Structure 1
Amino acid sequence: MEFRVLGSIGIIDGTRFTAIQGARQCTLLALLLLNAGHPVTKDQFFEELWEDETALARPANALQAQVARLRKVLRAELGDEFVSRRLITRPSSYVLDVDPLDVDVHRFASLTGRARVLTGRDPEVARGLLKQALELWQGPALQGVTGGPICQSARAQLEEDRLRAVEDRIQLDIVTDGHAQAVGELRKLAFLAPWREKLFEWLMVCLYRLGRQAEAVQTYNQLRARLVEEFGMEPSPSVKKCLLAILNQDPVLGGVERHGAARTPVRTSA
């Protein structure tokens, strides 16, 4: 039995997925899963489940009612023994006592952490771990959750972690498969996240190393036009430095990739 946070909140039993219904029930379970094995205080639940706790006539009773509903859902899916042993009530908190690695978000963190340790000495294994980690994502994190600052912060951090894992995997793809294989995905990611200028740097360098210098310069111009139009800002000094290196055919960028040549990670600046 496993739990999903990276997508719709729910329970995975083999190949069967059961989504939790209701925004407050999703938020309640999400908070417990994000803190698997650790207590979540009642004050934290109040902050996430209700914008204004003081508007509730009996806040403690309202929270107990939500927990009772969640117990009913979990009992239907996991049985009485699981609920009685694992969903623990304490005087000022609740704990969902499950193995963190049975929750996709914690397994994602474990896989990406192991991958980064292995990147330097075994890039193939590291790439495989990152692929496994990214396959856990079945949609935006905490989908269906409308919680307060804790959930909002967690959602933003998880998306940042996902993009970083994608970037790390692309770097390893370049080492293993060459620059040509990375160009398509870099174009897509750069379009979706223009504020992550590092993606544009990598795309520019990949195109340059493939002998497509004009496209590399065009990529810079597209980035600049979009940043100016949408954000009212110029590209970062790092991206400008990358453009200058391309225009000057700076040896620091490496030579044009030849079929069968050794591949190196994209490094655009110190």
Structure 2
Amino acid sequence: MLTYRILGPIEVQAEGEPVEINGTFQRTLLAALLVNHDRLVLTDSLIGELWEHNPPRNAENALQAHISRLRRRLRSVDPDETAPRFLSMPSGYRLCLNDDTFDADIFTHALLDVRANTALSPYEMITKLRDALTLWRGPTFGGNLGGFICQAAAVRYKEYRAAALERLFEAELKIGRHNEIVAELSELVESESLNERLCQQLMVALYRGGRQRDALAAYQRMRNRLMDELGVEPSPVLQKCQMAILAHDPALQPRPVPAHTNS
């Protein structure tokens, strides 16, 4: 059984030991097949992913050679695997995870579970989301890798991570942990510079901690970034939050939540 990791530098592990996948072509090919695992990836799409607008002569043969090399490499570190890992079809290739694990799947399933399970308490939601977010070791694939397939996947997983963070801090605020999350939120707002939802959550956390001036300063920094980078004002939601802070709106304070139990 293998473990694939793309939420950070792309990695493969066999029984907890790292498996070296040599060469940019091999890593890009693996990444493109992983993010579409259990689905057919067309040959032309994979050729474009590896070589963009400059494919070699006999590109289909070159792609097939890379598939064979990757298949042999994975087989060499997991010789007991009986089910086929790669399926070759006339129009493309398919990677089958079988019993292998994939960090991006674990993460997205956790997020979808939190979204779907409305009976979860804020405490349970926090535990599930924090566990899932520990899977992230850096930017997807470790940064720029591949062509359209990999880049589109990187954008998608970044959006999933942002959604998980927003839900996490919503739950943290709901149970009154505003002081505990200020440092974490401040760092995220700086790195995720145009995420207005995280900025709003930071403003509320600061305000609840008696730091109205800092909350308004966070709003102003976000406004400056939006104006500088996009030429737009903050969203009506963020502007409303600023006005609520200025007015000391009681609605900004947390509502009582039942104490957490282990039952």
TM-score class, shorter: 0.7 to 0.9
Which has more helix, going by share of residues?
Answer: 1
Distance in 2 of aligned mates of 1:145 and 1:89: 27
Residue number in structure 2 paired with 1:267: none
The structure-2 alpha-carbon separation of the partners of 1:84 and 1:223, relative to structure 1 and needing over 3 Å to count, comes to: closer
- CA RMSD across the alignment: 2.4
Residue number in structure 2 paired with 1:35: 36
Distance in 2 of aligned mates of 1:263 and 1:205: 17
Residue number in structure 1 paired with 2:92: 93
Query: Amino acid of the residue matched to residue 40 of structure 1?
Result: V
Task: Note the alpha carbon deviations across 1:30-89, whole angstroms, 9 max, x for none.
Answer: 122112222212111112111126x5221111111111221232122222x538722221
Distance in 2 of aligned mates of 1:163 and 1:204: 17
Q: For 2:12, what is the secondary structure of its paired residue?
A: strand
Residue number in structure 2 paired with 1:143: 142
Q: Conserved in 1, the CA contact under 8 Å of 2:85 and 2:98?
A: no
Q: Conserved in 1, the CA contact under 8 Å of 2:14 and 2:78?
A: no
Distance in 2 of aligned mates of 1:148 and 1:134: 26
1:120 Cα shift? 4.7
Query: Amino acid of the residue matched to residue 137 of structure 1?
Result: W
Query: Amino acid of the residue matched to residue 78 of structure 1?
Result: D
The structure-2 alpha-carbon separation of the partners of 1:225 and 1:31, relative to structure 1 and needing over 3 Å to count, comes to: closer
Residue number in structure 2 paired with 1:262: 256
Q: TM-score, normalised by structure 1?
A: 0.85
Residue number in structure 1 paired with 2:261: none
Q: Between 144-153 and 226-235, report the one with greater CA deviation.
A: 226-235
How many residue pairs align between the two structures?
A: 257
Query: Amino acid of the residue matched to residue 52 of structure 2?
Result: E
> Structure 1: where are the runs of 5+ without partners?
265-270
Residue number in structure 1 paired with 2:235: 236
1:17 Cα shift? 2.4
1:101 Cα shift? 6.9
The answer as to 2:29 corresponding to 1:10 is: no
Residue number in structure 2 paired with 1:56: 56
Q: For 1:3, what is the secondary structure of its paired residue?
A: strand
Q: Between 99-108 and 158-167, report the one with greater CA deviation.
A: 99-108
User: Runs of 4 or more off by more than 6 Å in structure 1?
Assistant: none
Q: How does 1:1-270 map to 2 (within 5 A)?
A: 1-52=2-53, 55-79=55-79, 82=81, 85-99=84-98, 102-118=101-117, 120-143=119-142, 146-176=145-175, 178-254=177-253, 262=256
Q: Conserved in 2, the CA contact under 8 Å of 1:9 and 1:144?
A: no
Q: Conserved in 2, the CA contact under 8 Å of 1:115 and 1:125?
A: no
Task: Note the alpha carbon deviations across 1:106-125, whole angstroms, 9 max, x for none.
Answer: 11111111122335532222
> Structure 2: where are the runs of 5+ without partners?
259-263
The structure-2 alpha-carbon separation of the partners of 1:235 and 1:144, relative to structure 1 and needing over 3 Å to count, comes to: closer
The structure-2 alpha-carbon separation of the partners of 1:101 and 1:211, relative to structure 1 and needing over 3 Å to count, comes to: farther
Task: Note the alpha carbon deviations across 1:227-252, whole angstroms, 9 max, x for none.
Answer: 33444433222222211111112232
Q: Conserved in 2, the CA contact under 8 Å of 1:207 and 1:213?
A: yes
Distance in 1 of aligned mates of 2:201 and 2:26: 42
Distance in 2 of aligned mates of 1:191 and 1:88: 44
The structure-2 alpha-carbon separation of the partners of 1:159 and 1:144, relative to structure 1 and needing over 3 Å to count, comes to: closer
The structure-2 alpha-carbon separation of the partners of 1:209 and 1:31, relative to structure 1 and needing over 3 Å to count, comes to: same
Distance in 2 of aligned mates of 1:180 and 1:263: 17
Q: For 2:151, what is the secondary structure of its paired residue?
A: helix
